[in-house]
Amino acid sequence: MTDKQNLAEQILAGNRRALARAITLVESSRPDHRAQAAELLETLRGHGQEAIRVGLSGTPGVGKSTFIEAFGMMLTAQGLRVAVLAVDPSSARSGGSILGDKTRMERLSRDPGAFIRPSPSQSHLGGVTRRTREAIDLCEAAGFDVILIETVGVGQSETVVAEMSDLFLLLLAPAGGDELQGVKRGIMEIADLILINKADGDLKSTATRTCADYAGALRLLRKRAQDPDGFPKAMTVSALEDTGLSTVWEEMQTLTLWRREAGHFDRRRAAQARHWFEAEVREGLLARLRREPVKGAMTTLAAKVEAGEIGAAAAADELLGHYLQLDRDSAGGS
Ligand code: GDP
């Protein structure tokens, strides 16, 4: 048996160490690792099981780790297996990760039913999203029931996480009504459940008011075709005191079941798969264009465009023609 078959079999058997190794492989940008990762993903495709992929966003301090830990432990206590992945666009820029801190979710990380993977350090969000997408596939192959994909929602990260999720949860803190304006309309439109966390102690009444404000705002949004009555929904929870979490899980299941029966679940996954295919093609082409000798031709042509010697469109045509010719030559030569 080869190592690769071995790794695939261990992943299918739910081995978390093998899963961690495979994720390291998909995170690598070395061409030989990329090839191995692609082969592994193809071997595993169609095996394993379909998990519920849950995107979760919220600003730092809102209680994401506390929520994920409490929610994750509730699920593992029911015998479900939970994987936590992170998309952290900050880690590349600042060198410090908002989400990657190893001391987070300590209890959950010791739970045999859970698997936690911090965000990969990649140079751009595109790289992080591709790896996360592949990590999701690996977690499904490893038999996880629920995959939580966490992000802080910096820049585009909420949208990219929503594009790889079946459900999207937005965690908010209790706040005065004015702050409702601070939540972008876009995120209101992708959220399936808005959870006002910290609904405990002194903050409880503020949380209830905030929740009513958001419930009102959600009602003003046009009803989405992929939602049953009452969704998207705003709810209060306390991750610290573990209240409302089982209701959140029930609502998630209700929504998922409804979408499955209405066909929206599969259609959404199919559209996502198509989207990622197209993104892979674009990325692959761009990566080839960044390689020599095309890169050199690009620099030369860019200088000519700057000097006004050739128009932008004509230069682009010339470059692409040059690239396609090289591609044909190399195909012919091999
Ligand atoms: P993250 O940055 O979004 O991951 O937030 P954390 O989970 O680290 O929580 C930030 C702070 O909020 C910590 O001090 C938590 O103890 C606190 N916190 C989280 N959830 C709750 C909650 O439900 N109620 C209260 N009162 N505090 C909470």
Q: What percent of the chain has pLDDT over 70?
A: 88
Residues 48 and 13 sit within 8 Å (Cβ to Cβ): no
Atom of ligand 1 nearest to the CA of 237: 23
Structural contact between residues 168 and 57, judged by C-beta atoms closer than 8 angstroms: yes
Which of 108, 240, 245, 248 has most ligand 1 atoms within 8 Å of its beta carbon, as the pocket-test mutant? Answer: 240
Atom 22 (ligand 1): residue with closest C-alpha?
198
CA distance 176 to 195: 15
pLDDT at 4: 65
State which ligand 1 atom lies nearest to the alpha carbon of 60: 2
Tell me, in angstroms, the distance from the centre of ligand 1 to residue 235's CA.
Answer: 17
Tell me the CA–centroid distance for residue 138 and ligand 1, in Å.
30
Which of 158 and 80 is assigned the larger pLDDT? 80
Cα–ligand 1 centroid distance for 248 (angstroms): 17
Q: Which residues touch 92 (CB under 8 Å, ≥6 apart)? A: 121, 122, 123, 124, 128
Model confidence at 305: pLDDT above 60: yes
Strand 146-151 relative to strand 52-57: parallel, antiparallel, unpaired?
parallel
Provide the 3-class DSSP secondary structure of residue 169: strand
- Residue 93, pLDDT > 70, answer no
Distance 92 CA to ligand 1 centre (A): 24
Strand partners, 83: 115, 147
**Nearest residue by C-alpha to atom 5 in ligand 1:** 63
**Whole-number pLDDT of residue 181:** 57
Which one of 48-62, 78-92, 94-108 scores highest in mean pLDDT?
A: 48-62
Residue 33 has pLDDT above 50, yes or no: yes
Per-residue pLDDT of 133-191, as tens digits, reads 999 999 999 999 999 999 887 667 888 899 999 999 999 999 865 666 566 777 888 89
Q: In what side-by-side order are the strands of the sheet with 193-196?
A: 114-117, 82-87, 146-151, 52-57, 167-172, 193-196, 233-236
For 115-149, write each residue's pLDDT tens digit: 998 876 655 666 778 889 999 999 999 999 999 99
Categorize the per-residue pLDDT at 13 as very low, low, confident or very high, splitting at 50, 70 and 90.
Answer: very high
Q: Which one has a higher pLDDT value, 4 or 202? A: 202
Which among 4-8, 88-92, 138-142, 161-165 has the top mean pLDDT?
A: 138-142
Q: Give residue 16's pLDDT band: very low, low, confident or very high (50, 70, 90).
A: very high
pLDDT per position as a tens digit, 212-270: 989 988 888 777 878 898 999 999 999 999 999 999 999 999 999 999 999 999 999 99
Residues at CB less than 6 angstroms from ligand 1: 58, 60-66, 197-198, 200-201, 238-240
Residue nearest to atom 10 of ligand 1 (CA): 61
pLDDT grade, residue 97 (50/70/90)? low
Ligand 1 closest atom vs CA 68: 7
CA of 256 to the centre of ligand 1 (A): 27
The confidence score (pLDDT) of residue 291 equals: 83
Percent of the chain exceeding pLDDT 90 equals 59
Q: What's the 329 CA to ligand 1 centre distance in angstroms?
A: 59
Cβ neighbours of residue 273 under 8 Å, at least 6 residues apart? Answer: none
Give, as one character, the DSSP assignment of residue 50.
P
Per-chain mean pLDDT for the chain: 87
CA distances from 46 to 53, 61, 137 (A): 16, 38, 10
- Give residue 131 CA to ligand 1 midpoint distance, Å: 28
The confidence score (pLDDT) of residue 246 equals 97
Alpha helix positions (H), 151-244? 157-162, 185-190, 204-220
Query: Greater confidence, 313 or 287?
Result: 313
